[in-house]
């Protein structure tokens, strides 16, 4: 079998070798590799435009950059657009050989939508990018004038595509490895933040910040279920327009309903879900009011003891459902959030119990301190009307003393600055003397 060196003229072969060297020199930087490939195709073939569409499925690709010849605003020419290959491009991938159309607009296997989107393309070349038969993507070279490529040109393009496919796969693997490492490091930072004592809102905000750094998450909300489990409502937010957090209040239903919101749905089912822009579970009035209906919203339940206690929402600006690895990282972070929420709930329960116990001890102290003067007042109030004048005057004086004692007790209650307890026959109670400021202090 003839090699590329055998079938290409020497000058063309040297140019190809130099192109391969420049592409390979970009190493594990995927964007730099793709930029280098586009530049070398234009240099080697004299193309006006070279664009790489990376594979996202067996016959689906994603456009990487805006096509300069595209009609302004046409979806097919926009960066990030995902589309199915037409028969012309798919035929190149199936055969493993590049295909050239000297008259692109007249090529019957090119889909009509592509011709409409790119009216300025006269001639075009499609090169399949296959690395050991793995479909990596396709390379398009376009001309704004009619050209006729020689067999040597096609051979050079074929060889360049084969080398580029391997370089792209290598760069992609390296990028994936870096992403995994970055996500693991973020998960570790999240764990550290959650385990650090602090305010619950601060911990949840840290979780949202870390998720934002993971995969370009534009918005995030942590919503918690009310204690009576009737509503789930936003607690903290990241990157949201003013008012969106406060508007995130959704009623929880026991059974599916046509108007069930995605937050309530995840609380009810306890399952992680990714909601696309057109999903009916996205709360249309809210998204339309705040203009936040693009991308995917990934909602992950926050569970404690098998019960959903909240929802972790992350908005990802992609046109396809997020990858499983990213979903797994979100579940890990939701677990960390559950730990923070559970710890905060325990702290609040302990604080409430302590306050209740303090109130009980204060009540005991008040009952103890007020019992004697109140008993005196009650006894004399029953007798004073039947006493002789001299004894009635003495009783009235003692009642006045009892009232002054109650007044002093009230004033002391207003000067409580600490909780100090003492033992009594009825149990621990507030030590009013030690717990209050003396007159003139403070």
pLDDT tens across 364-417, in order?
666 666 666 666 666 666 667 676 777 777 777 777 777 777 767 776 666 666
Q: Is the pTM of this model over 0.75?
A: no
Residue 78 in any domain: the answer is: yes
In this structure, the answer to whether residues 20 and 51 fall within a common structural domain is yes
Closest Cα partner for 66 from 57, 56, 53? 53
Q: Is 80 a member of any domain?
A: yes
Total domains, the chain: 3
The SS3 assignment for 208 reads helix
User: pLDDT tens across 403-419, in order?
Assistant: 777 767 776 666 666 66
Residue in 441, 437, 438, 435 with CA at minimum distance from that of residue 364: 435
pLDDT recorded at residue 159: 81
Q: Which range marks the domain in which residue 405 is found?
A: 349-435
Residues 360 and 248 in one domain: no
On whether both 388 and 317 belong to a single domain, the answer is: no
For residue 284, being part of any structural domain is answered with yes
CA distances from residue 194 to 198, 213, 285 in whole angstroms, order as listed = 8, 17, 34
Q: Assess whether 73 and 122 both reside in one domain.
A: yes
Residue 209 has pLDDT above 70, yes or no: yes
Does residue 287 have a pLDDT over 70? no
Are 158 and 48 within one domain?
yes
Q: If you search the block for the tokens 């399949």, which residue do you land on?
A: 128
Please report the sign of the dihedral spanned by the C-alpha atoms of residue 203, residue 204, residue 208, residue 210: positive
Residue 93 inside a domain? The answer is yes
Give the pLDDT score at 1: 38
User: Do 279 and 372 fall within a single domain?
Assistant: no
d(CA 123, CA 48): 10
Residue 53 near residue 61 (C-beta atoms within 8 A): yes
Q: Quick one: DSSP state of residue 271? A: -
Residues 317 and 354 in one domain: no
Pair (161, 252) in one structural domain? no
Of 303, 322, 341, the residue that ends a domain is 322
- Output the CA torsion 278→279→281→285 (10° steps): 0
Q: Are residues 311 and 353 part of one domain? A: no
How far apart (Å, rounded) are the C-alpha atoms in residues 214 and 144? 41
Task: Identify whether residues 16 and 154 lie together within a single domain.
Answer: yes
Identify whether 10 is part of a domain: yes
Q: Which whole number is the average pLDDT over 100-105?
A: 94
Confidence category of residue 107, pLDDT binned at 50, 70, 90: very high
Strand pairing report for 307-316 and 99-101: unpaired
Q: Provide mean pLDDT across the span 418-441.
A: 68
12 — alpha (psi -120 to 50), left (phi > 0) or beta? alpha
Question: What are the DSSP calls for 292-337, one per residue?
Answer: ---SEEEEEEEEETTEEEEEEEEEE--SSPPPHHHHHHHHHHHHHH
Note whether residue 67 is domain-resident.
yes
In a domain, 440, yes or no: no
Across the range 36-64, mean pLDDT stands at 84
Contacts for 255 with CB less than 8 Å, ≥ 6 apart: none
Q: What is the mean pLDDT of the chain?
A: 78
**Would you say residue 190 lies in a domain?**
no
CATH at 83 = 3.30.450.40
18 or 226: which leads in pLDDT: 226
Cβ–Cβ under 8 Å, residues 123 and 102: yes
Q: Are residues 313 and 377 in the same domain?
A: no
Q: Return phi, psi of residue 267, to 5°.
A: -65, -45
Query: Is pLDDT of 283 > 70?
Result: no
Residue 407 vs residue 119, higher pLDDT: 119
In this structure, the answer to whether residues 13 and 160 fall within a common structural domain is yes
């Amino acid at each position: 079998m003839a090699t590329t060196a055998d079938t290409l003229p020497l000058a063309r072969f040297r140019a190809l070798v130099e192109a391969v060297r420049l592409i390979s020199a970009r190493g594990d930087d995927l964007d730099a590799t793709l930029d280098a490939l586009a530049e070398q195709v234009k240099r080697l073939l004299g193309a006006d435009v070279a664009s790489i569409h990376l594979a996202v499925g067996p016959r689906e690709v994603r456009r990487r950059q805006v096509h300069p010849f595209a009609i302004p605003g046409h979806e097919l020419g926009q960066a990030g657009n995902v589309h199915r290959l037409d028969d012309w491009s798919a035929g190149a991938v199936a055969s493993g050989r590049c295909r050239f159309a000297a008259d692109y607009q007249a090529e019957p296997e090119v889909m009509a939508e592509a011709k409409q989107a790119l009216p300025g393309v006269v001639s075009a070349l499609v090169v399949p990018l296959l690395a050991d038969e793995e479909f990596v993507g396709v390379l398009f070279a376009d001309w704004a004038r009619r050209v006729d490529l020689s067999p040597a040109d096609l051979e050079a393009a074929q060889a360049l595509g084969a080398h580029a496919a391997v370089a792209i796969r290598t760069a992609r693997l390296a990028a994936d490895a870096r992403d995994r490492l970055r996500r693991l490091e973020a998960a570790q930072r999240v764990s550290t933040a959650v385990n650090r004592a602090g305010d619950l809102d601060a911990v949840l905000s840290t979780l949202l910040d870390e998720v934002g750094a993971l995969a370009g998450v534009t918005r995030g909300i942590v919503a918690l279920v009310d204690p009576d489990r009737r509503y789930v409502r936003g607690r903290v937010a990241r990157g949201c327009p003013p008012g969106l957090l406060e508007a995130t209040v959704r009623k929880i239903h026991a059974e599916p309903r046509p108007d069930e919101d995605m937050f309530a749905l995840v609380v009810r089912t306890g399952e992680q879900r990714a909601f696309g822009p057109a999903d009916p579970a996205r709360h249309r009035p809210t998204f339309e009011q705040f203009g936040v209906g693009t991308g995917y919203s990934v909602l992950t339940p926050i569970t404690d003891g098998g019960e959903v206690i909240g929802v972790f929402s992350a908005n990802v600006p992609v046109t396809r459902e997020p990858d499983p690895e990213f979903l797994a990282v979100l579940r890990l972070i939701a677990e960390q959030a559950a730990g923070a929420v559970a710890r905060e709930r325990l702290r609040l329960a302990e604080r409430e119990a302590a306050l209740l116990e303090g109130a009980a001890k204060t009540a005991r102290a008040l009952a103890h301190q007020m019992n004697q003067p109140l008993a005196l007042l009650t006894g004399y109030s029953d007798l004073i009307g039947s006493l002789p004048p001299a004894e009635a005057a003495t009783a009235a004086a003692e009642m006045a003393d009892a009232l002054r004692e109650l007044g002093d007790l009230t004033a002391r209650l207003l000067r409580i600055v600490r909780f100090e307890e003492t033992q009594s026959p009825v149990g621990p109670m507030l030590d009013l003397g030690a717990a209050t400021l003396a007159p003139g202090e403070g």
